[in-house]
Structure 1
Amino acid sequence: MLIVHGGTPLKGEIRVRGAKNLVSKAMVAAVLGETPSTLYDVPQISDVGIVSGLLRVHGVEVTSGHDQSLHFDTSKVEAAGVDEINIHAGSSRIPILLCGPLLHRLGRAFIPDLGGCNIGGRPIDFHLNALREFGAVVDKTPGGLEITAPEGLKGIQYRLDYPSVGATEQVLLAAVRAEGTTELRNAAIEPEIIDLICVLQKMGAIIKVHTNRVIEITGVERLHGYSHRPIPDRIEAGSWASAALATQGEVFVRGARQADMMTFLNVFRSIGGEYEVNDSPVDGGIRFWHPGGPLKPVALETDVHPGLMTDWQQPLVVALTQAQGLSIMHETVYERRFGYTQELRAMGANIELYSECLGGTPCRWGRRNFLHSAVIAGPSKLHAADLQIPDLRAGFSHLIAALAAEGTSRVYGVDRYITRGYENFEAKLAALGANVERPGAAL
């Protein structure tokens, strides 16, 4: 639990490191290489610890270095026992991405039951269908999935029904050492996907990114290690920017990069926020602030890149509770991502949910009664409440709401969720002047 004394604008500077959604995938990619790899600027988050544990039980030596780097010695990759792997079952959805690398290195992989945030259906059918096309054999067992490749993996022609980030990563990690050429259509092209392609290219892969979401991979027999500094975490940067807006504060996010956040920056300015980009290669970043006066209502829709990222939705909704008028947020990526609004309504936010598509972007669950559109009427005077965090991104949004509210809130589930994706967030809150404390600790 975290005790939050709200009503104080956040002001100061914090730093974001490598993107959570790239770092964990780059760690998995290291298994494909037969020589060591080094990943720099790795955030100290629980997801990194989970993936490190998964790699270690498969024989990878993971060591920490300077500049928050991780070094991976993959010379002794080995099969892990079911009990060892199951220690991590339910903690992360990363294990499914180990399939391709382990099939190439060992010829088999065991994948336990998968965890992750409860924000809607994220079926692994995309992953399993693709692996079967490559030639893998998938057998269900009581504890998970046993996957083998009796004749190795072969290149395929494959089209995703939806440009899923996870499925695109799966195909990339399986195709780079598969025999022949793989053509993936309707692929995800998020910045983290492009950065993963950069990692694989450094390892010796041959990958072409064509127009219209087409990626072509020519399989190679062997890959070597890499040395890579990941793109900064654009989700965390957007979260702190939204916190500055909601609390009428000013936050300099060191490390944030304009090129990865163009869609967010347009939305931020449309709402009435201001920002300034510092392109210094040493200490650059983006300064976000509330310029005073009323915020403006907007109509927004989440979408795959280059659309508005679904992980920016929750913190932006908190900020929109302070805008003057009616705002709309149409969620088109995950069907159950508005569960967190119940807590916001308990704090005084005026938010109504609808199953209709309140926007022009097609979504996959129209007329299926999922509450995936929100209308936010503001400004709302938020008051303190006891908050139970349901998932990672919603959890940080609850924290923002507590910081913006009058009075003292108690936020539960901090260590289970927020630490998965936000490095040293309590120290960062302190650096921004937030008045927060752990029970029994001194202010």
Structure 2
Amino acid sequence: MSGLLTIEGGTPLNGEITVRGAKNFVSKAMVASLLGEEPSVLRNVPLIRDVDVVSDLLRLHGVTVDHERESGVIHLDPSNVESAHVADIDAHAGSSRIPILFCGPLLHRLGEAFIPDLGGCRIGDRPIDYHLEILRQFGAVVDKRTQGIHLSAPRGLHGARIELPYPSVGATEQTLLTAVRAAGLTELRNAAIEPEIMDLIAVLQKMGAIISVDTDRTVRIEGVARLGGFSHTSLADRIEAGSWASAALATQGDIFVRGATQPEMMTFLNTFRKVGGAFDVREDGIRFWHPGGELSSIVLETDVHPGFMTDWQQPLVVALTQATGLSIVHETVYENRFGFTEALRGMGAKIQIYRECLGGLQCRFGQRNFNHSAVVSGPTPLRAADIMVPDLRGGFSHLIAALTAQGTSRVSGIDIINRGYENFQVKLEALGARALVAA
């Protein structure tokens, strides 16, 4: 990580910014293009680092990628898919975990795949072993080597019956991308049903896949021998929209988020209103603002969709430091997601972290000795500090804290924020933030 942002806080964020396609969907749709034997077109693509990483990895495998960056349109032609060199994959993957999702499509197209050691944000346990076990159930042969993991399918891939112990987004994506061209029927129980997952299913159906989703989180996929291309417009990034909404609340500002949509954000909007924020849903976006007066403390529990998503939690916690009373936040998705609060405490926030499940039912982390609950006492004025970005969402939350605090803060490691927030520095400037970037 590199990059330094100097922020003079204490000024409300006011103005308009635009959000484009969802980080958690766009990269997966790009991977899905590998499954097709015809070109695909993806629109509303944001200018974020993850898109560049996937583009590079696709090119390494022979996919022609034409990214019209200003218009947000990507053309993907997988007609000449080929194996890539191990060293090249490792060099281009960096800290991204996306390569694990290349396995199913590459096994179908080439009969083999290779993945290097995988990185990602250090917010909790994201082992690839479960992904590999899913691939084994489809018939993949996994060979762990010094440089990484080699996979092959000497007898092809076949349908499987898979039941997830937890509705994991990554495991659901892995199953979908592998099952659509596997011979026979695949039944996935306890699947994730996030909006980004449903948009991926829509893309796969456009390509020729046969997928049904039941109300009990069961997904059935009838494998087909061939898939074509797709033409699709990505859904908006509900995480980025919620992050800017939290920034408006914490800084007592007023932000119109062009491109934000209501259906995917209904749970967030309810919570935003309970805290005391105001919003106005329009045809072309959502306006979020602090209406004045005191903010209210709340009890909040993150959960898989349709619950309050974990990626909304960190930015909102910054706003809760300005709410009156005790707020309780119970994190049930990632066990180590409260590491970002250490910097907030250094800025004057009163946040206590607990191993117990607080504010709701017992969760899977309750008996595993993880600090996964927080009590936030407010309102507390925040003071400027020097901060190191810990991860993507925590990093943006630190930006919000620095913008809220009185004085000048220095936030280092900001390059990681580019993984999921398009042109965030330009957007800060558009909202009147007093921020200066140093190389």
Q: Does 1:50 align with 2:35?
A: no
Q: Does 1:185 align with 2:184?
A: no
Amino acid at match of 1:8: T
Contact 1:301–1:361 (Cα < 8 Å) also in 2: no
Amino acid at match of 2:14: K
Give the gaps of 5 or more residues in structure 1. Answer: none
The structure 2 residue matched to 1:35, chosen from 24, 27, 38, is 38
The structure 2 residue matched to 1:219, chosen from 223, 242, 248, is 223
Contact 2:53–2:93 (Cα < 8 Å) also in 1: no
| Counterpart in the other structure of 1:145 | 149
Q: Does 1:245 align with 2:244?
A: no
Amino acid at match of 1:421: G
| Counterpart in the other structure of 2:203 | 199
Give the gaps of 5 or more residues in structure 2. Answer: none
Looking at structure 2, the residues matched to 218 and 362 of structure 1 have their Cα atoms a distance apart, in angstroms, of 36
1:225-374 map, 5 Å: 225-279=229-283, 284-374=284-374
| Counterpart in the other structure of 1:131 | 135
Looking at structure 2, the residues matched to 102 and 410 of structure 1 have their Cα atoms a distance apart, in angstroms, of 43
Amino acid at match of 2:10: G
Q: Does 1:433 align with 2:404?
A: no
Show CA shifts across 1:176-219 (max 9, x none): 00000111000000000000000000100000011110000000
Give the CA RMSD over aligned residues. 0.9
Contact 2:159–2:179 (Cα < 8 Å) also in 1: yes
Residue 143 of structure 1: CA displacement?
Answer: 1.1
Q: TM-score, normalised by structure 1?
A: 0.97
Q: TM-score, normalised by structure 2?
A: 0.98
Could you say what secondary structure the match of 2:344 adopts?
helix
Show CA shifts across 1:267-304 (max 9, x none): 0000000000002xxxx100000000000000000000
Looking at structure 2, the residues matched to 8 and 357 of structure 1 have their Cα atoms a distance apart, in angstroms, of 36
Show CA shifts across 1:208-246 (max 9, x none): 011110000000000001011010000000000000000
| Counterpart in the other structure of 1:209 | 213
Q: Does 1:5 align with 2:4?
A: no
Residue 68 of structure 1: CA displacement?
Answer: 1.3
Looking at structure 2, the residues matched to 90 and 365 of structure 1 have their Cα atoms a distance apart, in angstroms, of 29
Amino acid at match of 2:262: Q
Could you say what secondary structure the match of 2:248 adopts?
helix
Contact 1:112–1:145 (Cα < 8 Å) also in 2: yes
Amino acid at match of 1:356: E
Identity between Structure 1 and Structure 2 (%): 68
Looking at structure 1, the residues matched to 330 and 387 of structure 2 have their Cα atoms a distance apart, in angstroms, of 24
| Counterpart in the other structure of 1:18 | 21
Amino acid at match of 1:437: L
Looking at structure 2, the residues matched to 81 and 407 of structure 1 have their Cα atoms a distance apart, in angstroms, of 50
Could you say what secondary structure the match of 1:103 adopts?
helix
| Counterpart in the other structure of 2:65 | 62
Looking at structure 2, the residues matched to 317 and 293 of structure 1 have their Cα atoms a distance apart, in angstroms, of 18
Residue 434 of structure 1: CA displacement?
Answer: 0.5
Amino acid at match of 1:213: R
Could you say what secondary structure the match of 1:110 adopts?
strand
Residue 98 of structure 1: CA displacement?
Answer: 0.3
Amino acid at match of 1:163: P
Could you say what secondary structure the match of 2:170 adopts?
helix
Q: Hey, which bits of structure 1, 4+ residues long, moved more than 3 A?
A: none
| Counterpart in the other structure of 1:167 | 171
Show CA shifts across 1:380-401 (max 9, x none): 1000000000000000000000
Residue 67 of structure 1: CA displacement?
Answer: 2.0
Instruction: Count the aligned residue pairs.
Output: 435
